[in-house]
Amino acid sequence: MTTSTPPRRHVRRRTNWTQIARRISQLAFAAFIVVASIRHGLGEEGSAITASTDALCPFGAVETLFTWLTTGNLVSKTHPSNLVLGLGLLIGTLLAGSAFCGWICPFGAFQDALDWARRKLHLPEVKLPARADAILRYGRFLTLGIILYASISSAKLWFASYDPYHTLFSLNWLFEFNLAEMWPGFVVLGVIIAGSLLIERFWCRYLCPLGGILSVLSNFSLLRIRRKDASCKGCALCETPCPVGIKVSQADPAVSVNCIGCLACVDACPRSGALTMQIAPTWLDGIKKVAGSNVAG
């Protein structure tokens, strides 16, 4: 008597349109910066098409804000466009949290590409203990403090020589290569690349000064991912795709302000309604609690 193996059922994978849209957005903004850098590198000094990565970075607004408010002047290499971009980012963060990091930031896209390379090369991912991870996240604020002190005291764009985003996307290594001046930036970029091949979004998690600012502002954002305890079964499948290592299954109820708004956790959740993006800032929770206690009293 012979037995036959039943035909294997083909499981059709659901197309994740949210993540496809996110990748397209990331690539579009990264391409825009690269094209702008190429035009800057090839353009003539003073021409209208030579905007540099310095002028196209919202963090420049943070670096020059104090000097602009106190003296009316801008830190060298910054531009009024930095202030406009900074204001736009502030408004966007108050609306949608740190979605800039997950959908727009070119260096965030670069780190996602590094994680893709890590998985393709089958390199091990380092998982830090929760306490060490929480402490290291304060490194963003240490970096921010150093940058602000140096920028204010020198009235120069001090961080440009070390900024891994500027080092990579300015394309100065292509148009104005000078190892004697650029080596600090190359060293920092090399460390970030090595770290990102071990820990997903290493720069975003532990060192990005702009990410630190956005995490604070995200406390006041209107849109937040929230977990409904009654619907959540505690499987923690939502945590697997999170690029910044958030304990999404422990959200109570809003997900951490370290969230970059990629929505990968929402897409991964098998329970309908357990994780949802809502117009529900956390400060409303406090108002509701106060109102509830007054009614109960």
Total Cβ atoms within 10 A of residue 258 = 22
Q: Are residues 44 and 181 in the same domain?
A: yes
The pLDDT score that the predictor gives to residue 286 is: 58
Q: What is the pLDDT of residue 77?
A: 84
The answer to whether residue 210 is domain-embedded is yes
Whether 99 and 186 map to the same domain: the answer is yes
pLDDT digit string, tens, across residues 199-256: 999 999 999 999 999 999 999 999 999 999 999 988 999 999 999 999 999 998 999 9
Predicted local confidence at residue 130, as pLDDT = 93
CATH of the domain at 226: 3.30.70.20
Half-sphere exposure of 205 (CA within 13 A, CB side): 23
**How buried is 20 (Cβ within 10 angstroms: 0-12 exposed, 13-18 middle, 19+ buried)?**
exposed
Looking at the fold, whether 248 and 117 belong to one and the same domain comes out as: no
Q: Is residue 291 part of a domain?
A: no
On whether the CB atoms of residues 185 and 207 are closer than 8 A, the answer is no
Residue 266, in any domain of the structure: yes
The reported pTM is 0.88
Do 248 and 138 lie in one domain? The reply is no
- Shared domain check, 245 and 145: no
Q: Under a CB-based contact definition with an 8 Å cutoff, are residues 256 and 246 in contact?
A: yes
Check whether residue 130 and residue 52 sit in a common domain. yes
CB-based contacts of 263, cutoff 8 Å, min separation 6: 18, 19, 22, 102, 225, 277
Please check whether residue 49 lies inside any domain of the structure: yes
Same domain, 226 and 205: no
Residue 174 shares a structural domain with residue 254:
no
Number of domains the chain is built from: 2
Residue 293 lies in a domain: no
d(CA 79, CA 93): 22
pLDDT of residue 54: 87
Residues of the chain where predicted confidence (pLDDT) is lower than 50: 1-6, 8-11
C-alpha 200/C-alpha 260 separation (Å) is 13
Residue 121 and residue 66 share a domain:
yes
* Domain match, 150 and 240 both: no
Token pair belonging to 24: 């397209």
Boundary of a domain, candidates 217, 238, 258: 217
Are 148 and 262 in a shared domain?
no
> Is 7 part of a structural domain of the chain?
no
Residue 288 lies in a domain: no
Asked if residue 155 belongs to a domain, the reply is yes
pLDDT score for 274 = 94
pLDDT of residue 14: 67
> Range of 184's domain?
17-217
In one-letter notation, the amino acid at residue 297 is: G
Q: What pLDDT was estimated at residue 177? A: 92
Distance of CA 30 to the CA centre of its chain: 13
Same domain, 58 and 156: yes
**Residue 48: predicted pLDDT:** 54
Rounded Cα distance between 97 and 216, Å, is 9
